[in-house]
Chains A and B, each alone.
Chain A
Amino acid sequence: MLDEKIILKFLRGECNEQELQAIKSHIDQSDEAAEELFKLRQTYRMLEAERMSDAEVNAAYNRLNERLSQKVQARKAEIRHIKMRRIASVAASIVAVVAIGVVLLWHRGNSNMLVAQAPDDSVIQVSLIDGTKVWLHNGAKLRYPKSFNNSVRKVELQGEGYFEVAKDRIHPFLVQGNSIKVKVLGTKFAFKATGKSSQVNLLEGSVEVQELARHGMVMLSPGQTASIDSITGTLRVSERQHAELSAIWHDDLIPFSNATVAEIARTLQYIYHEKIYVADDVDTATTYTGSVKRKGTVEDVLEALTNTLPITYKKTTNHIVLSNK
């Protein structure tokens, strides 16, 4: 005869191997003994089922429906994915050929490398032999060759850097970070490569950003930002507002090109986190092109701007108002 405790454990699904063995021996005795036990479990099941609320059942039903509809969507996505994969496999083989070439070149030119590193709290500028200028800050480290002997101008970056690459159509310029590389012909861009993520902000020209692990690749236009999560390898492109400001740390100059007073106000608001309103009487056609030195306070910058623009400013406790002079 089975112990009641074991029977209850059996009903609740809590038996260990030894107890299961006891159950098995019991039901192996005769079908009658087995039927008795399974009928008892059936009764227990009925009681449990009765105790379950309608809300619980409905919730489970909704979860299942959710799952089924996700599956239908996944099927659709898979069909799209197969088409994309054909294109990607052709692209990947091209990338592989280029990558092998790059590795060979890299090994040949390895002997004459230099390293520049910025101190933690200041910005340094490095001039490369081809005329390219690189600004580094916050401990960023650049590895670059004394001379570019190869068909590719390649450097390595850790941390945050800003590049003004000298134009040379025959010798592409390549920056490699932890998880991505950026290929350019002649352009201005900011590149930040930390352990977890890498980010490329393009200011001028065009660049090709390639994620190294999965060979994902995007072309950026000015104002766009490519972000790469180093762990998942996800490559994302976004249009960032004020992308042009991603590198003002390198020269402390705020760049404006054909900016209206309203646009200038928005930019300063972004940099200084102060609310700036533009009064109705300000001429909307007036624009400004040039760079303004970033200063300690927003008033200092506005003071400089009043020399060239027909505006005046007034500061109250919570905000600043720009109006016609």
Chain B
Amino acid sequence: MKEEAATFQSLFHQYYPQLHSYVSGIVGAGDAEDIVEDVFEELWSRREGIEIGDKIGGFLYRSALSHSLNHLRHKGVTDRHVQMVRQINEVGLRLVDGGNTAQDHLEREELRATLMKAINELPDKCREVFKLSYLHGMKSKDIGDVLGISTRTVDAHIYTALKALRKRLQGIDWLFLIIFFNFCLSSFF
């Protein structure tokens, strides 16, 4: 029982932040907290039937999607809208969401350092915009006002930064796989 609670707590700490972002990306920022708590409530109530292994991420993301869609339905969003959100995110679940990421392999501090390093390596203007957006949470329009550039240019910089960071982080994923593979080989022989 105690062990069960400890596992639950560590899963919560690992997945709450990313699920919060995932759900915000589906229902918008305001209602994510409650929905993610619903997801973990479901995990807790079904803990006996679920194996906590590699697939737990898949379970949590699927549960988060279905809770989010329910929320949208209750909120009175049109059926067509909900269907579209569902279809899009089903593709996401199939290809990417809920799978392992660099986040799962690295310690929090390590990941943070990697991210900061990657951000600092961005081209000047792009870095400046991205820091304002990401580190200071500023809206694109406000960043544009501060730097004297159009909102459109701001968005373009943010997009470029995200793409660059994605490449870096995916590199970590690959690197991790290679290390893992080597480890398997060495322990095999």
Hey, which bits of chain A sit against chain B, CB under 8 A? Answer: 4-5, 7-8, 10-14, 17, 20-21, 23-24, 27, 31, 34-35, 38-52, 57, 60-61, 63-64, 67-68
Asked if residues B21 and A43 are in contact (CB atoms below 8 Å), the reply is no
Set A13, A17, A57, A64: member contacting B29, Cβ < 8 A: A13
Query: A14-B28, A17-B80 in contact; A40/B21 too (CB < 8 A)?
Result: no
CB proximity of A17 to chain B, nearest CB, Å: 5
Set B27, B95, B102: member contacting A38, Cβ < 8 A: B95
Asked if residues B13 and A61 are in contact (CB atoms below 8 Å), the reply is yes
Asked if residues B22 and A45 are in contact (CB atoms below 8 Å), the reply is yes
Residues of A close to B25: CB separation below 8 A: 10-13, 41, 44-45
Asked if residues A8 and B158 are in contact (CB atoms below 8 Å), the reply is yes
CB proximity of A26 to chain B, nearest CB, Å: 10
A64 to B37, CA, bound (A): 6
Can you name 28 A-B residue pairings with CB atoms under 8 Å? A7-B159, A8-B158, A13-B29, A14-B28, A17-B78, A21-B84, A34-B95, A41-B25, A41-B96, A43-B162, A43-B165, A43-B169, A46-B101, A47-B115, A47-B134, A47-B162, A47-B165, A48-B17, A50-B17, A50-B108, A51-B134, A51-B135, A52-B17, A57-B12, A60-B16, A60-B20, A61-B13, A68-B44
Q: 6 extra interchain contacts, Cβ-Cβ under 8 A, other than A57-B12, A60-B36?
A: A4-B152, A12-B28, A17-B84, A48-B24, A49-B20, A67-B41
Interface size of B by CB at 8 A reads 55
Asked if residues A20 and B81 are in contact (CB atoms below 8 Å), the reply is yes
Asked if residues A4 and B95 are in contact (CB atoms below 8 Å), the reply is no
Residues of B close to A51: CB separation below 8 A: 134-135, 137
Hey, which bits of chain B sit against chain A, CB under 8 A? Answer: 9, 12-13, 16-18, 20-22, 24-29, 33, 36-37, 40-41, 44, 78, 80-81, 84-85, 87-88, 91-92, 95-97, 101-103, 108, 111-112, 115, 134-135, 137, 140, 152, 155-156, 158-159, 162-163, 165-166, 169-170
Residues of B close to A44: CB separation below 8 A: 21, 25, 162
Asked if residues B81 and A27 are in contact (CB atoms below 8 Å), the reply is no
Query: A38-B92, A46-B101, A50-B115 in contact; A17/B20 too (CB < 8 A)?
Result: no
